[in-house]
Amino acid sequence: MTMLGDRQQLAYIAAQAADARVNVELETEGMTLNIGPQHPATHGTLRIIARLDGEQVVWAEPSAGYMHRGYEKLTEVRTFPQVTALVNRIDWLGSFANEVPFILAAEKLMGVEAPSRAQHIRTILFELSRIANVSLFLGDLGVQLGAITPVFFAFRDREYVLNLIEAATGGRFHPNFDRIGGLKDDLPAGFIDETRVVMKKLRTFCDQIEDLLFGNEIFQARTRGIGVIPKDVALSYGLSGANLRASGVDWDLRRDQDIPMAWNKTEFKVITHPDGDSFARCWVRLQEVRESTKIVDQLLDTIPAGPVMAKVPKIIKVPEGEAWVSTENPLGEMGYYVVSQGDQGPFRVKIRSASFNNISIVPWLLKGVYVPDIITILASLYFILGDIDR
């Protein structure tokens, strides 16, 4: 840029351009814009390399790995109960949900099943972490689009949910509460009544966000018809979660698979949207928070009495074998492929996290959009860096 003042440089460029074209004035040079690794829109250290023509993106590619922490390798030197402390930190906003599929995989290998009460509490905490995660997304969405107020409402109301998780598990963000065969502890006294109150607050929060953001004409102008993912493209890129459902695919692991969790004991709607644009993705998430609060309410009504821990040996040795369990996490399908060779720790763990697959569509999706829309699309795809880089 500084060289443009240089007359020689200008003459050189003009000569080069004149060879190729008659009309030199309207030709513009391309520009490569690095969005990230340090950029407020990537909430973490994702780097997006975008080749721009003016403000239009002609080519874009996400470059992940700036926060790779090697969890798959680290699990190999941990015992099974220790791994939950690691996987907490994958999707750090909904961390309890990360523990569940791993524990379920280990239980599948050992052939134990958690007692019914533990399954209920697991599902409640799972849905609470989904609510905590997605309600922050709803506020953050506003910030990405320039509305600075909703995010504070989101932080305020997420705090109620985090308090519940803290009351039950002792940790706001990293509960490390799930055990093979059940849970560490039972629910604290008063948890059920308190949760009912909080779920009401969260439904009010959803109404507020719907009024503040989703009803706003500017918000709709910015998101409707932007970043449209058709059904077949969404499926072929392996999207999951709300991103897939917003493209009109009726797919929800909570309903579709039979795992020892309490979802099949509740009634809930799987929200889909036919449009597949940014607005659809945001809208689907908003409705899912509502559905989650209803799931929690139903589970609180039907929570059975009994122990929260099955009979498992003190020193856990998982028998030889391989198991794959995936669940519908806040960000999409999250699964663990656990290989055990009969030791105290896993031999190999492959983590399938939702965000990694979800951002694989970014090069396809960003082609031809304008710079402001990059931010909208990334925000609506909703990834968490820990979930991409692991």
Partner 1 sequence: MNAVLLSADLPYWAISLLRVLGGLVAVLLPAGTVVYLFLFKMLSFMQSRLGPMEAGPYGSMQLFAEVGKWLQKEDIVPASAQPEARIFKMAPLIVLASTFLLVVVVPFGPDAWFTNFETGIFYALAVSSVSVLGILIAGWSSANKYSLLGGLRAAGQLVAYELPMVLAVIGVVIQAGTMNLQEIVVAQNAGSMFGWDGLGNPYVLTQFVAFLIFMISVQAELSQTPFDMPIAESELVSGYMTEYSGFRFLIFFIGEFATAGVFAMIASVLFLGGWGVPFSWFGWTTIDSIDNWMNVAGPLILFAKMMALVFFIMWIRFSSPRLREDQLQRFAWKVLIPISLVNIMLTAVLKVAF
Residues of the shown chain interacting with partner 1 in the complex, contacts defined by CB under 8 A: 1-2, 5, 31, 33-34, 39-41, 55, 142-149, 152-153, 156, 212-213, 216, 218-219, 221-222, 370-375
Helix, strand, coil percentages for the chain (3-state, nearest 5): 50, 15, 35
- By the 8 A CB rule, do 239 and 247 touch? yes
**Minimal distance, residue 205 CB to partner 1, in Å:** 12
**Minimal distance, residue 222 CB to partner 1, in Å:** 6
Residue 257 CA neighbour count, 13 Å, CB half: 15
Closest to partner 1 by CB, 211 or 256: 211
Q: At residue 337, what are phi and psi to the nearest 5 degrees? A: -105, 110
Residue 5 CA neighbour count, 13 Å, CB half: 1
The secondary structure element, H or E, covering residue 154 is: helix 150-169
Tokens, residue 90: 């994958």
- By the 8 A CB rule, do 30 and 52 touch? yes
Closest to partner 1 by CB, 96 or 153: 153
**Minimal distance, residue 383 CB to partner 1, in Å:** 15
Closest to partner 1 by CB, 42 or 95: 42
Closest to partner 1 by CB, 15 or 31: 31
Closest to partner 1 by CB, 41 or 310: 41
**Minimal distance, residue 342 CB to partner 1, in Å:** 50
- 3-class SS of residue 362: helix
**Spatial distance between the Cα atoms of 243 and 226, rounded to a whole number of angstroms:** 14
**Minimal distance, residue 224 CB to partner 1, in Å:** 12
